[in-house]
A = this chain, B = another copy of it.
Amino acid sequence: MRISELSEETGVAVATIKYYLREGLLHEGERTSTTQARYDTSHVARLRLIRALIGVGGLSVATARDVLDRLAEPPESLHELLDTAHPPLRPQPDEEVDTTSAAEVLHELGWELRTAHSEPVRRLAAALEGLDSAGFPISREDVLNYARRMHQLAEAEVAGTPQDPGEALRYVVLGTILVEPLLLALRRLAHIELSGRLLP
Protein backbone atom coordinates (compact mmCIF):
# COMPACT_ATOMS: atom_id res chain seq x y z
CA MET A 1 0.00 0.00 0.00
CA ARG A 2 1.39 3.38 -0.93
CA ILE A 3 1.04 6.54 1.08
CA SER A 4 -1.73 7.85 -1.15
CA GLU A 5 -3.71 4.66 -0.65
CA LEU A 6 -3.11 4.81 3.08
CA SER A 7 -4.41 8.35 2.96
CA GLU A 8 -7.53 7.35 1.07
CA GLU A 9 -8.16 4.37 3.33
CA THR A 10 -8.04 6.45 6.51
CA GLY A 11 -9.16 9.85 5.30
CA VAL A 12 -5.98 11.46 6.59
CA ALA A 13 -4.18 13.81 4.20
CA VAL A 14 -0.85 12.66 2.81
CA ALA A 15 0.89 15.72 4.22
CA THR A 16 -0.53 14.92 7.64
CA ILE A 17 0.67 11.33 7.44
CA LYS A 18 4.13 12.61 6.64
CA TYR A 19 3.86 14.93 9.59
CA TYR A 20 2.95 12.04 11.90
CA LEU A 21 5.88 10.07 10.52
CA ARG A 22 8.22 12.97 11.23
CA GLU A 23 6.82 13.37 14.73
CA GLY A 24 7.23 9.68 15.43
CA LEU A 25 3.57 8.82 15.98
CA LEU A 26 3.45 6.50 13.03
CA HIS A 27 6.11 3.86 12.38
CA GLU A 28 7.82 4.06 9.02
CA GLY A 29 6.82 1.89 6.12
CA GLU A 30 9.02 -0.74 4.60
CA ARG A 31 11.39 1.03 2.28
CA THR A 32 11.53 -0.32 -1.24
CA SER A 33 13.78 2.39 -2.63
CA THR A 34 15.10 5.86 -1.87
CA THR A 35 11.79 7.47 -2.58
CA GLN A 36 9.31 4.73 -1.95
CA ALA A 37 7.93 2.88 1.01
CA ARG A 38 5.23 0.31 1.47
CA TYR A 39 2.56 0.55 4.16
CA ASP A 40 0.29 -2.17 5.48
CA THR A 41 -2.74 -2.74 7.70
CA SER A 42 -0.70 -2.00 10.80
CA HIS A 43 -0.33 1.55 9.54
CA VAL A 44 -4.04 1.80 8.91
CA ALA A 45 -4.84 0.64 12.45
CA ARG A 46 -2.24 2.90 13.97
CA LEU A 47 -3.45 5.89 12.05
CA ARG A 48 -7.02 5.27 13.18
CA LEU A 49 -5.80 5.02 16.75
CA ILE A 50 -3.88 8.26 16.41
CA ARG A 51 -6.92 10.07 15.06
CA ALA A 52 -9.06 8.70 17.90
CA LEU A 53 -6.56 9.83 20.54
CA ILE A 54 -6.23 13.29 19.03
CA GLY A 55 -9.87 13.63 18.02
CA VAL A 56 -12.33 12.32 20.62
CA GLY A 57 -9.53 11.76 23.12
CA GLY A 58 -8.52 15.38 22.87
CA LEU A 59 -4.81 14.66 23.20
CA SER A 60 -2.15 16.89 21.71
CA VAL A 61 0.16 15.39 19.13
CA ALA A 62 3.02 15.34 21.60
CA THR A 63 0.94 13.63 24.28
CA ALA A 64 -0.43 11.13 21.80
CA ARG A 65 3.14 10.21 20.92
CA ASP A 66 3.96 9.67 24.60
CA VAL A 67 0.91 7.49 25.03
CA LEU A 68 1.75 5.43 21.98
CA ASP A 69 5.35 5.06 23.12
CA ARG A 70 4.15 3.85 26.48
CA LEU A 71 1.90 1.30 24.83
CA ALA A 72 4.97 -0.19 23.20
CA GLU A 73 6.88 -0.60 26.44
CA PRO A 74 6.28 -3.60 28.68
CA PRO A 75 4.75 -2.44 31.97
CA GLU A 76 6.61 -3.04 35.23
CA SER A 77 3.39 -3.47 37.11
CA LEU A 78 -0.13 -2.34 36.41
CA HIS A 79 -0.25 -0.31 39.56
CA GLU A 80 2.91 1.54 38.74
CA LEU A 81 1.58 2.24 35.31
CA LEU A 82 -1.60 3.71 36.68
CA ASP A 83 0.07 5.63 39.42
CA THR A 84 2.90 7.29 37.61
CA ALA A 85 2.16 7.11 33.97
CA HIS A 86 -1.42 8.17 33.72
CA PRO A 87 -1.73 9.96 30.45
CA PRO A 88 -2.92 13.52 30.77
CA LEU A 89 -6.22 14.07 29.03
CA ARG A 90 -6.08 17.77 28.65
CA PRO A 91 -3.20 20.17 29.05
CA GLN A 92 -2.81 20.11 32.79
CA PRO A 93 -2.46 23.35 34.68
CA ASP A 94 1.22 23.55 35.39
CA GLU A 95 0.52 26.07 38.09
CA GLU A 96 1.01 24.82 41.58
CA VAL A 97 -2.15 23.73 43.30
CA ASP A 98 -2.85 23.22 46.96
CA THR A 99 -3.44 19.51 47.44
CA THR A 100 -4.42 19.57 51.11
CA SER A 101 -8.14 19.57 50.41
CA ALA A 102 -7.71 16.76 47.91
CA ALA A 103 -5.65 14.82 50.41
CA GLU A 104 -8.40 15.22 52.99
CA VAL A 105 -10.95 13.83 50.59
CA LEU A 106 -8.77 10.86 49.80
CA HIS A 107 -8.18 10.24 53.49
CA GLU A 108 -11.87 10.34 54.28
CA LEU A 109 -12.44 7.86 51.51
CA GLY A 110 -9.78 5.60 52.91
CA TRP A 111 -7.97 5.54 49.61
CA GLU A 112 -4.40 4.95 50.57
CA LEU A 113 -2.35 6.19 47.67
CA ARG A 114 1.37 5.84 47.89
CA THR A 115 2.10 9.01 46.00
CA ALA A 116 0.19 11.86 47.54
CA HIS A 117 1.34 14.47 45.06
CA SER A 118 1.05 12.57 41.84
CA GLU A 119 -0.53 13.94 38.74
CA PRO A 120 -4.04 12.59 39.34
CA VAL A 121 -4.09 14.04 42.85
CA ARG A 122 -3.13 17.43 41.50
CA ARG A 123 -5.87 17.01 38.95
CA LEU A 124 -8.38 16.41 41.71
CA ALA A 125 -7.06 19.41 43.60
CA ALA A 126 -7.37 21.58 40.51
CA ALA A 127 -10.95 20.42 39.94
CA LEU A 128 -11.91 21.23 43.53
CA GLU A 129 -10.18 24.57 43.36
CA GLY A 130 -11.93 25.37 40.10
CA LEU A 131 -15.35 24.68 41.61
CA ASP A 132 -14.47 26.72 44.63
CA SER A 133 -13.09 29.74 42.85
CA ALA A 134 -15.99 29.72 40.41
CA GLY A 135 -18.26 30.23 43.39
CA PHE A 136 -20.00 26.95 42.73
CA PRO A 137 -21.08 25.31 45.96
CA ILE A 138 -20.20 21.66 46.31
CA SER A 139 -20.18 20.04 49.69
CA ARG A 140 -17.60 17.61 50.94
CA GLU A 141 -20.38 15.07 51.13
CA ASP A 142 -21.19 15.52 47.45
CA VAL A 143 -17.55 15.04 46.55
CA LEU A 144 -17.43 11.85 48.59
CA ASN A 145 -20.56 10.57 46.89
CA TYR A 146 -19.10 11.28 43.49
CA ALA A 147 -15.97 9.47 44.55
CA ARG A 148 -17.87 6.41 45.74
CA ARG A 149 -19.77 6.22 42.48
CA MET A 150 -16.61 6.48 40.45
CA HIS A 151 -15.06 3.82 42.65
CA GLN A 152 -17.90 1.44 41.88
CA LEU A 153 -17.52 2.15 38.23
CA ALA A 154 -13.77 1.61 38.43
CA GLU A 155 -14.31 -1.72 40.17
CA ALA A 156 -16.19 -3.04 37.19
CA GLU A 157 -13.52 -1.72 34.89
CA VAL A 158 -10.55 -3.13 36.79
CA ALA A 159 -12.32 -6.48 37.01
CA GLY A 160 -12.39 -6.57 33.25
CA THR A 161 -8.67 -6.01 32.84
CA PRO A 162 -7.10 -8.70 30.66
CA GLN A 163 -4.45 -11.00 32.09
CA ASP A 164 -1.87 -10.53 29.39
CA PRO A 165 0.39 -7.59 30.32
CA GLY A 166 0.43 -6.08 26.86
CA GLU A 167 -3.32 -6.40 26.55
CA ALA A 168 -3.79 -4.97 30.03
CA LEU A 169 -1.64 -1.99 29.21
CA ARG A 170 -3.64 -1.22 26.11
CA TYR A 171 -6.89 -1.76 27.98
CA VAL A 172 -5.94 0.62 30.77
CA VAL A 173 -4.45 3.38 28.69
CA LEU A 174 -7.06 3.43 25.96
CA GLY A 175 -9.83 2.70 28.43
CA THR A 176 -8.82 5.72 30.44
CA ILE A 177 -8.56 8.09 27.54
CA LEU A 178 -11.29 6.97 25.21
CA VAL A 179 -13.96 6.07 27.74
CA GLU A 180 -13.87 9.52 29.30
CA PRO A 181 -15.73 11.25 26.47
CA LEU A 182 -18.22 8.38 26.51
CA LEU A 183 -18.93 8.88 30.21
CA LEU A 184 -19.33 12.62 29.84
CA ALA A 185 -21.66 12.25 26.88
CA LEU A 186 -23.77 9.74 28.80
CA ARG A 187 -23.99 11.99 31.83
CA ARG A 188 -25.26 14.86 29.74
CA LEU A 189 -27.79 12.67 28.00
CA ALA A 190 -28.93 11.33 31.36
CA HIS A 191 -29.47 14.90 32.52
CA ILE A 192 -31.62 15.57 29.50
CA GLU A 193 -33.57 12.36 29.87
CA LEU A 194 -34.29 13.05 33.52
CA SER A 195 -35.26 16.65 33.03
CA GLY A 196 -37.61 15.57 30.25
CA ARG A 197 -39.32 13.05 32.52
CA LEU A 198 -39.36 15.05 35.72
CA LEU A 199 -40.26 18.44 34.40
CA PRO A 200 -43.44 19.39 32.51
Contacts and interface: CB of A to CB of B under 8 A. Distances in A.
Contacts of A160: 142
Interface of A: 45, 48-49, 51-53, 55-58, 77-79, 82-83, 86, 89-90, 93, 106, 111-114, 118, 120-121, 123-124, 126-131, 133-136, 138, 142-143, 145-147, 149-158, 160, 170, 172, 174-176, 178-196, 198-200
Contacts of A187: 150, 153-154, 180, 183
Contact of A188 (B86, B90, B138, B196): B86
A190 B147 CA distance: 8
Contacts of A48: 133-135
B52 A131 contact: yes
B155 A56 contact: no
A157 B151 CA distance: 17
A191 B52 contact: no
A113 B196 contact: yes
A158 B127 CA distance: 20
A175 B143 CA distance: 12
Given A51-B133, A127-B185, 6 more contacts: A48-B135, A49-B135, A56-B126, A145-B156, A149-B153, A151-B190
Nearest to A45: B135
B93 A182 contact: no
A143 B182 CA distance: 8
A124 to B, nearest CB: 4
Contacts of A83: 192, 195-196
Given A131-B52, A134-B49, A179-B131, A123 B199 contact: no
Contacts of A143: 182
Looking at A48, A127, A136, A185, the one whose CB has the most chain B CB atoms below 10 A away is A185
B189 A113 contact: yes
